[in-house]
Structure 1
Amino acid sequence: MTQSLTITRPDDWHLHLRDGDMLRAVLPETARHFGRAIIMPNLVPPVVTGEQAGAYRDRILSALPEDMMFEPLMTLYLTEDTDPEDVAAAHASGLVKAVKLYPAGATTNSASGVRDFDKVRPVLEKMAEIGLPLCVHGEVTDPEIDIFDREEVFIDRVLDPLRQATPGLRVVMEHITTAQGAVYAQSGGSDLAATITTHHLIINRNHILVGGIKPHYYCLPVAKRENHRQALRIAATSGLPCYFLGTDSAPHTDANKLQACGCAGCFTATNTMALLAHVFEEDGALDKLEGFASKNGPAFYRVPENPGQITLVKQDAPVAFPEQIKTPDGPVTVFDPGFAVHWTVA
């Protein structure tokens, strides 16, 4: 029996598109289903000024197939040299929708990130004044802190003091991975929210390590214990407006994933909406999927919802998603949830 669900066209509030050949290869995988996406600025070199964000936006739009409609929502990479007035001008122009905070060394291409938070306070104060959100990669990088504890420690040591010191600052806790993160996201009213990825709703750390190392499940922040995955499922399917979708879909070629020091990231752009329908149905919350994927994000970012719709269809036979996306640089493996999926986007 065929089952269908029609929802407002969704947005992805955390996306990596890279640049050049990789951008051209992976952009259609997102634009096929999503109306907009917050574009991560961690290129090499990073996107740190309004002028650079505008140039990157132009490259994205020039790579978009003519038959697709998609709006890239640009961000700036926060550094200790970021100019508050450039940030304000880029925001006032309508170009930049957020600023991204990477603690230096926390993840892919984060070497230019922040080490001394006192040096970025003028930028944060300006952002609070103009209502521009700060998107936070919430992990400390101290070598003595266990990688599985870095999100919880970041909330206590960095995020909470930073928010207390900057009243009115609007913050998105990106790709939360812990029960503590899910709880904290509810504590800030309309000025605090959290994105949750598709893959963190599906995998825990056992999927990476049991039965041999699975490089295509390795991401940062790394997947945690099962109790944290369950907490994320409860949060995503709760209907609470502080949670919304940010896939953190991150393309790396297999050659860069399958090596002694492989890259972190799961590529989920291709099958995210089908996987979310599976998860939400499994948890008896299909009626909450539209809020999570299509409504809560626009409400937080203070933009209109997308005008269009998509229809998800459940079929009897499992859906065969492509195993890889071909790029001139090499294949990018599509995230495999490890179970049969019967949902697809019509």
Structure 2
Amino acid sequence: MTQANSPTALTIRRPDDWHVHLRDGDMLSAVVPYTAHSFARAIVMPNLVPPLTARAEVSAYRDRIKAAVPKGVSFEPLMTAYLTDTITPAEIAAGFADKTWVAAKLYPAKATTNSDFGVTSVRGILPVLEKMAEIGMPLLVHGEVTDPSVDIFDRESLFIDTILALLCDRLPELKIVFEHVTTADAVAFVKSRPQNVAATITAHHLHINRNAMFQGGLRPHFYCLPVAKREIHRLALRDAATSGDPRFFLGTDSAPHLARDKESACGCAGLFTAPSALAAYLQVFEEESALDRFEGFASLHGPAFYGLPVNAQRITLRRSPSASAERVAAQISARDQHIVPFWAGEALPWKIEAEAAIPA
């Protein structure tokens, strides 16, 4: 609930998105402006097809992203390497040294969208992880096991017990970001570890539990991976995000798909949250009476973990009365197709003041 004494405006350092999917081609051109509008920097996921494993591929992709940023908008894509069973410590270290990438992403093979080329055994890439620990390069982890015998709602907690805890014990100096955590188990695990283990939290996992996928029928636009969990987990995530603990920071995991692919017989996992994620996060902090901690979560904790400077720019977000709050677009064009954004048609009370231009 909105607090009676809640301010109508909040000015913070410009935030960053520490986990986003921008895709490529027409989709890239359609979605980049929304992330660039809200965030100064973003950690860009490498799960294209084929995946981005080589420095030249990552550099070329970064150029395509920059070309899609609207003129007059300041935005820096921070690139990541896609870990495979065959990538070498030398290649990882070289790309980190020349600033091609700032981190590497671990996808367990077949865990999520475009992860078929991912790692089949963490033990098999230990030399790479040891090199990353040595040079201070962060490891970004999609934390789910992929054994088909494991219930999909248990995949994250089992990953902690069977892989992540052992990895942290084996390489205690390795900087690890447990991406898009969805369970109280993950929150507790991060809190139990030193400051070199952190986690990103999405806006949608703060807003919905698993019931959202089934209310009134099968709701494909609420299907993501990791899937939303029980209400007790959503509440644990809200507590962690708004706690002020520097090990938790903003990562939207905005992941656009064409509506036809979301609404098909085998719908894609992923929610396109970029257009309204910042407003949705801020709504949660207001509801939890934690507006004073929002700048830390959105703008300060992430740079501190990655060893990067905070942004000098500031933005102001303003809250409108519910009757005049602007509604999220019902759909967004991607050339001759369209994307349905998360919160489509809903009114979110907070909005960035003096918005940058967004293509029609």
Give 1:330's aligned amino acid: Q
Between 327-336 and 132-141, the greater mean CA deviation after superposition: 327-336
Q: TM-score, normalised by structure 1?
A: 0.98
- Residue 135 of structure 1 corresponds to 140
Q: 1:278·1:343 contact (CA, 8 Å) conserved in 2? A: yes
Deviation at 1:263, TM superposition (A): 0.2
Partner Cα separation in structure 1 for residue 345 and residue 211 of structure 2: 13
Match status 1:218 vs 2:226: no
Look up the SS of the partner of 1:183 in the other structure. Answer: helix
1:151 matched to which residue of 2? 156
2:309 & 2:325 partners in 1: Cα distance?
A: 35
CA distance in 2, matches of 1:2, 1:127: 44
Gaps of 5+ in 2: 1-5, 354-360
| Structure 1 partner of 2:254 | 249
Offset, 1:276: 1.3
The gaps in structure 1 that reach 5 residues or longer are: none
* 3-state SS of 1:193 partner: strand
Deviations 1:113-149 (A, max 9, x none): 0112222011000000000000000000001110000
How far the C-alpha of 1:162 sits from its partner, in A, is 1.3
The number of equivalent residue pairs is: 346
CA–CA distance in 2 between the matches of 1:126 and 1:49? 17
Aligned-pair CA distance for 1:329: 5.0
Q: Secondary structure at the match of 2:195?
A: helix
Query: Could you tell me which residue of structure 2 aligns to residue 288 of structure 1?
Result: 293
Alignment correspondent of 1:323: 330
Would you say 1:238 and 2:243 are equivalent positions? yes
Cα distance change, pair 34–233 in 1 and its aligned pair in 2 (3 A)? same
In 2: Cα distance, 1:338 partner to 1:24 partner:
23
| CA–CA separation in structure 1 for the residues paired with 2:106 and 2:165 | 14
CA apart distance, 1:2: 7.5
Conserved 8 A contact 1:132-1:170: yes
CA-based RMSD: 1.3
Moved more, 322-331 or 239-248: 322-331
Alignment match, 1:332:
339
| Aligned mates of 1:42, 1:153 — CA distance in 2 | 23
Shift of 1:187: 2.1
Separation of aligned partners in 2, 1:329 and 1:125: 46
- The aligned counterpart of 1:298 is 303
Moved more, 206-215 or 230-239: 206-215
User: Whole-Å Cα distance in 2 between the matches of residues 252 and 63 of structure 1?
Assistant: 18
Counterpart of 1:81 in structure 2 is: 86
Partner in structure 2 of residue 189 of structure 1: 194
Match of 2:358 in 1: none
Displacement of 1:95 in angstroms is 2.2
CA deviation string 1:291-311 (max 9, x = no partner):
111000000000001110111
Moved more, 166-175 or 39-48: 166-175
The answer to whether the 8 Å contact 2:22/2:31 transfers is: yes
More divergent stretch after superposition (274-283 vs 321-330):
321-330
Tell me whether 314-323 or 90-99 shows the greater mean CA deviation: 314-323
**Mapped contact 2:46–2:82 kept (Cα < 8 A):** yes
- Look up the match of 1:278: 283
Correspondence 1:117 to 2:90: no
CA contact (8 A) 2:329 2:344 kept: no
Distance 2:147 2:210 in 1: 21
Q: 2: distance between equivalents of 1:202 and 1:3?
A: 21
Tell me if the contact between 1:40 and 1:75 (Cα under 8 Å) persists in the aligned partners. yes
Letter matched to residue 341 of structure 1: L
TM-score, normalised via structure 2 length = 0.94
1:343 to 2:350 alignment: yes
**Deviating more after overlay: 297-306 vs 89-98:** 89-98
Task: Note the C-alpha offset of 1:338.
Answer: 8.4
User: What is the alpha-carbon distance in structure 1 between the residues aligned to residue 88 and residue 123 of structure 2?
Assistant: 14
Q: Distance in 2 between matches of 1:344 and 1:61?
A: 25
Quick check: 1:253–1:331 contact (8 Å CA) kept in 2? yes
